[in-house]
Amino acid sequence: MKNNKSTVSGKFVIFVGFISFIIAALFFLLSEFFARALNSPILSFIFLIMIIFVGITSDLVGTSVAAADEKPFHAKASKRIKGAHESVFLIRNADRVANIANDVVGDIAGTVSGALGIALVLQIIQMWEELNLSTLNMLITAFIAALTVGGKAFGKKIALSRPNDVIFFVGRLIATVSGITGIRVVKK
């Protein structure tokens, strides 16, 4: 049975805003560190692709959790299948999970990928000064936009056609990480 009640409170909105600020600052510092430490357009490009992939993946999870059905996970949870309780938790908190996945992580990844694109353009221009800055900037920006939008469109196709599979995968991942770290997200 789908839970249509919102669990988002005023406190949660403030919390998400604060966490967004912290995550954005950390992502920026991390990307700046990698851009300077790598000092290689190829490695910077690979890091850029990884950040875009994080944004696509988070959008996939956020859309899946909103479309998933809780019922199949109750049967799995009764059989004590690893990740089922976590999947139920995710679905019951779909509005929060979707907000964090789509808006916090996804939007921050989009912002950071834009900043990394600019850093990549500057690295390339330093190596090949004869290149046109404006054209290169346009090409990198268009590439980032095309990969992000195309990837998210593909992710939404998967999220809407197989939401339970995606959420069960995430639930198992959370259960595995919880088992390794001892940090419990879900009380059983």
In this predicted model, what pLDDT tens digit does every residue of 9-57 receive, in sequence order?
778 788 888 888 888 788 778 777 776 776 788 888 998 999 999 999 9
3-state secondary structure of 112: helix
pTM above 0.85, yes or no: no
In this predicted model, what pLDDT tens digit does every residue of 95-114 receive, in sequence order?
999 999 998 899 889 988 98
**Among 4-8, 29-33, 176-180, which stretch is predicted with the lowest mean pLDDT?**
4-8
**Among 33-42, 67-76, 169-178, which stretch is predicted with the lowest mean pLDDT?**
33-42
Tokens standing for residue 113: 């990928």
Tokens standing for residue 187: 């009380």
**pLDDT surpassing 70 at residue 188:** no
In this predicted model, what pLDDT tens digit does every residue of 129-159 receive, in sequence order?
888 889 999 999 999 999 999 999 999 999 9
> Within 10 A of 42 (CB to CB), how many other CB atoms are there?
10
- Give the C-alpha separation, 127 to 105, whole Å: 32
The number of angstroms, rounded, from the C-alpha of 157 to the middle of its chain's C-alpha atoms is 16
